[in-house]
Homo-oligomer: A and B are copies of this chain.
Amino acid sequence: MSKDLFGELKSLDEARSLLEAHFPGAAPSLEVEGVPLLKAGGRVLAQDVSAPRDVPGFRRSTVDGYAVRAGDTAGASEGLPAYLKRVGSVAMGEVPNLSLSAGEAAGVATGGMLPEGADAVVMFEYTDSPLSDELEVVRPVTQEENVIGADEDVARGQIVFTSGTYLRPSHVGVLSAMGFSEVPVWSRLRAVVFSSGDEVVPPGEIPLPGQIADMNGPTLTASLSGDGVEVQYAGILPDSAEAITAATREGLGAADLALISGGSSVGLRDVTGKVIDSLGPPGVLFHGVAMSPGKPTIAGKSVGSGAVFGLPGHPVSAQVVYTVLLRDLVHRLQGRGRVLPRPVVGAILVRSLAGPSGRTEYVRVRLKTEGQRILAEPILGKSGLLSTLALADGLVELTDARRGMDAGQRVEVILLDN
C-alpha cells in the first residue's frame, strides 16, 4: 500500500498523441489474407483495389424508356412530338438482337444495354404510343443522355478503394459489382487480456470467502471482440513481477496488444511499469493520465512493437479507458486509414454536474426517452457497486474548459455500446 504517487500526469490529448506517434498504423504482424466477399464487411482492405474490368462494361440505360438517336428528338415538345418507329425492345441481360437506324426507337429498361446505333434514352414518362409500332416523344434528349458509358462508372485498372479502407456494406456491394468474390484484407488484430489481483478468480470458478470473480477481463474481452479483434482471455496473473513479465512476454508472442487490468493487487501499479520496461525499448510511454476515471492507466511499447496497457482495477475505469483511449488505437492497429468522427446522442442532462479539476472527467449516464426528448441521467451510488455498472448507456465528457454542467443543459453522450 503506497500513497498515490504518480509522476506528472499526461493530459488525455498528450496520451493520445503519444499513442499515435508510437503506433501510427497497422500492427507489424498483420498479414494480407483473402476473405470471401460476403464475409468482408467490417474488415480492413490491406491493398489498393483496382477494377479488373470496365464497369458496367457496356453502354447502359439509367432509366426505363426508349433507346433512340438523340438527333431524331430535336425540338420535340408536347405540342409537336417527334414520331419514331418502334422496332422492339432490349431483353435484360442480353446483347440486343437489333440495331437502330435513323427514326427508330427500341424499348429499354434501367440497366439494359443500348442497341447499336442508339446514343441516348428517352424516359418512358416523356413518350406515348397510341399505335403499337409508333412512338411519340415529347421532349428532346441530348447525346448520351440517360446513358452510362462502358467504362464511365469504373475504368479497368482504376483504383477504387485504397488500402486501409474499412469495409462497410456498400463497399462490399461495390466490390461485388466490380467482379470480386474474394477481398485482400488485413488479418485480424490479436489481443491478450490478463487480470490480476490475489482476490480475483476467473469467471465460472466459485469464489471462496474473500475472493471475487473477475469482471474487468471479461468486460475488456467483450469490448475487443465487438471491435473485431481476435482476443484471448488469459485469466488471472499471479502477483509477482517475474510471473507477470513471463506471462506478458508469452502473451505478446502471439498478440499485438496486451491489456493487464489490475485487481486491487498491492503494488501491481509499479510492477506493470517494470514489466513493460523489461520487454525492451521504448518501454513505458506514459504512466498516469489526467482523466477520471482512468488516472492510473499505463501504456508501453515492447521491442517487438507490441502495445501493452496496465489498466486500473476499478471496473468503471476499464470501460471508460477502452472507450475514450483504446478504441482509436485498436482501429489504427487494425490498419484503418480513416477515422470517422465519433457519433453521439444529444440529450438533456437531468442533474447538474460539478466541474472537473484539471483533468478530463467522464460521467456515466443512462438515456431515457420522454416523449420527444432524450434525457441523460447521471449514474450515482457507491462507485464500486456492481449493479450500477451495466446501467450506463454512455459517457458525458467534462473537460477542464467546461466548468460543470447544469441540469436542463443539452449534452452530447458518447455511447459505450460497440
Give the B-binding residues of A (Cβ under 8 A): 1, 3-4, 37-42, 55-58, 60, 62, 64, 91-96, 107, 109-113, 124-125, 148, 152-154, 160-161, 166-182, 197-200, 203-204, 206-223, 225-226, 233, 263-266, 313, 315, 318-319, 322, 340-347, 367, 369, 374, 382-387, 389-390, 392-393, 412, 415-418
Counting every copy of the chain, the complex holds 2
| Structural contact, A1 and B55, CB atoms closer than 8 A | no
A210 to chain B, nearest CB (A): 4
Q: Which of A39, A109, A218, A389 has the most CB of B within 10 A?
A: A218
Nearest B residue (CB) for A211: B93
- Further contacts, 18 of them, CB under 8 A, given A42-B225, A56-B212, A153-B386: A39-B225, A40-B222, A41-B225, A57-B207, A57-B209, A58-B209, A92-B264, A93-B211, A111-B212, A112-B199, A152-B385, A168-B390, A174-B389, A175-B218, A179-B213, A182-B204, A340-B417, A343-B343
Nearest B residue (CB) for A226: B41
Cross-chain contact of A415 among B56, B340, B392 (Cβ < 8 A): B340
| Structural contact, A168 and B215, CB atoms closer than 8 A | no
Pairs A-B, 7 closest by C-beta atoms = A181-B204, A173-B219, A41-B222, A93-B199, A343-B343, A111-B264, A169-B222
Nearest B residue (CB) for A385: B153
A313 to B340, CA, bound (A): 29
| Structural contact, B212 and A177, CB atoms closer than 8 A | yes
Q: What are 15 of the A-B contact pairs (CB < 8 Å)?
A: A3-B125, A41-B221, A42-B226, A93-B197, A94-B198, A95-B210, A96-B210, A109-B264, A112-B199, A112-B264, A169-B223, A179-B203, A179-B207, A340-B345, A340-B415
A210 to B57, CA, bound (A): 8
| Structural contact, B341 and A374, CB atoms closer than 8 A | yes
| Structural contact, A341 and B369, CB atoms closer than 8 A | yes
A343 to B58, CA, bound (A): 41
Residues of B within 8 A of A226 (CB): 41-42, 169
Residues of B within 8 A of A58 (CB): 209-210
A359 to chain B, nearest CB (A): 18
Cross-chain contact of A214 among B176, B218, B263 (Cβ < 8 A): B176
A169 to chain B, nearest CB (A): 4
Nearest B residue (CB) for A369: B341
Residues of B within 8 A of A152 (CB): 385
A71 to chain B, nearest CB (A): 22
Residues of B within 8 A of A160 (CB): 387
| Structural contact, A210 and B169, CB atoms closer than 8 A | no
Known: A212-B57, A345-B341, A392-B170. A92 touches B265 (CB 8 A): yes
Residues of B within 8 A of A343 (CB): 343-345, 415
Residues of B within 8 A of A382 (CB): 62, 148
A151 to chain B, nearest CB (A): 11
Known: A38-B218, A154-B386, A345-B340. A178 touches B213 (CB 8 A): yes
A295 to chain B, nearest CB (A): 14
A1 to B3, CA, bound (A): 80
| Structural contact, A174 and B390, CB atoms closer than 8 A | yes
| Structural contact, B176 and A215, CB atoms closer than 8 A | yes
| Structural contact, B113 and A210, CB atoms closer than 8 A | yes
| Structural contact, B206 and A179, CB atoms closer than 8 A | yes
A282 to B218, CA, bound (A): 44
A65 to chain B, nearest CB (A): 8
Residues of B within 8 A of A216 (CB): 173
| Structural contact, A386 and B95, CB atoms closer than 8 A | no
Cross-chain contact of A38 among B154, B161, B233, B342 (Cβ < 8 A): B233
| Structural contact, B384 and A148, CB atoms closer than 8 A | yes
Residues of B within 8 A of A181 (CB): 203-204
| Structural contact, B173 and A215, CB atoms closer than 8 A | yes
